[in-house]
């Protein structure tokens, strides 16, 4: 808005003076266009940041719910322990009372005392087990929170590394964002493929080579490459018969470039075709169809540490 007011003021002064040359007008128009383009870029960056914030908030809410459940379980276990402690105290008082009686009562109650001692020993064992279980629960909660924080930190670091490696590509058919603890690198087909083709264009190869360089330094990340199309029918006569075939072939082409560019281990990367069945938006306009024609590289952290913690008895 400030830029528009500035331009309008300059234009008005020029008109009043009746001496604006075509060159001055052209320079002013060029400056206005550049400022307008910069403003659009800033708005787009702000929208991406807001989307990322919402997704991270949703993921954090899910993790907090899981941690809250463990905390509730720990509270229930604590109540059980207090109940056993109370029972133990009562039995111990009864035992001490018997010991305070005379020898004849002690002799007559020998059998009962033996049974009471057995009960006390059993309760002590149960109490020790409950206390160990409570300590283990608390340890698991702390380990889970630490592991989740480490995963979030490593994935944010990975996203930033990829963004730095793809400087100059973002906003030109390429978008990077996080969702459910995963990093998504989404590339429109205008960057990668010609219409109906699964051969990666030179500009797309450059972007994929940069991504492969980052992934080679993070061998604990699993990689899924998904090909997507719009809902326009593909009437092929060769090996590609429909959108399913096209999306799979495009995903496979991307996988081959990634593995060849950085010698990535093939057991950590998967190619998948989704055809037209996972659109970002409705296929009701040429612009929306262009958004749906995309290839996504989905990066997932190694979750074996979290699974191991959850499976610990």
> What are the b/e assignments for 200-212, b being 16+ CB within 10 Å?
beeebbebbebbb
List the pLDDT tens digit at each of the 313 positions of the chain: 555 555 565 555 555 555 558 888 788 888 888 888 888 888 888 787 778 777 777 776 777 787 788 778 788 888 888 887 888 888 888 777 766 665 665 666 677 777 778 887 887 777 777 666 777 777 777 777 777 778 788 889 889 999 998 988 888 889 999 998 899 999 999 999 998 899 999 999 999 999 999 999 888 899 999 999 999 998 777 889 899 999 999 999 999 999 998 888 888 899 999 999 999 999 999 999 999 999 999 999 877 666 666 666 5
pLDDT at 297: 97
User: Domains of the chain: which residue ranges?
Assistant: 73-151, 166-311
- What residues contact residue 48 under an 8 Å CB cut-off, 6+ apart? 175, 177
pLDDT at 98: 67
pLDDT at 108: 61
pLDDT at 28: 85
pLDDT at 52: 74
| 228: phi then psi, degrees, rounded to nearest 5 | -135, 150
- What residues contact residue 180 under an 8 Å CB cut-off, 6+ apart? 55, 58, 59
Top CATH class, 166-311: alpha beta
- What residues contact residue 36 under an 8 Å CB cut-off, 6+ apart? 3
């Amino acid at each position: 808005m400030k830029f528009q007011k500035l331009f309008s003021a300059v234009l008005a002064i020029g008109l009043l003076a009746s001496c604006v040359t075509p060159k001055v007008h052209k320079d002013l128009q060029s400056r206005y266009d550049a400022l307008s383009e910069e403003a659009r870029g800033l708005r787009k960056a702000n929208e991406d940041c807001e989307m990322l914030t919402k997704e991270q908030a949703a993921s954090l809410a899910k993790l907090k719910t899981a941690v809250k459940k463990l905390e509730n379980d720990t509270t229930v276990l604590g109540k059980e322990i207090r109940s056993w402690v109370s029972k133990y105290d009562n039995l111990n008082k009864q035992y001490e009372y018997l010991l305070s009686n005379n020898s004849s009562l002690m002799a007559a109650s020998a059998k009962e005392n033996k049974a009471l001692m057995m009960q006390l020993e059993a309760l002590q064992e149960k109490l020790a087990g409950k206390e160990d279980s409570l300590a283990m629960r608390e340890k698991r909660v702390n380990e889970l929170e630490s592991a989740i924080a480490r995963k979030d930190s490593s994935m944010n670091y990975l996203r930033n590394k990829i963004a730095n490696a793809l400087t100059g590509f973002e906003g030109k058919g390429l978008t990077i964002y996080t969702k459910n603890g995963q990093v998504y690198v989404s590339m429109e087909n205008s960057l990668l493929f010609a219409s109906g083709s699964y051969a990666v264009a030179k500009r797309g190869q450059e972007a994929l080579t940069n991504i492969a360089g980052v992934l080679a330094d993070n061998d604990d990340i699993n990689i899924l490459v998904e090909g997507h199309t719009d809902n326009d029918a593909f009437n092929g006569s060769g090996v590609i018969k429909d959108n399913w075939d096209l999306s799979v072939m495009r995903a496979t082409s991307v996988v081959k470039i990634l593995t060849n560019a950085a010698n990535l281990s093939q057991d950590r990367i998967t190619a998948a075709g989704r055809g037209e069945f996972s659109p970002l938006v409705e296929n009701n306009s040429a612009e929306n169809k262009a958004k749906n024609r995309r290839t996504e590289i989905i990066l997932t952290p190694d979750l074996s540490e979290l699974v191991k913690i959850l499976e610990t008895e």
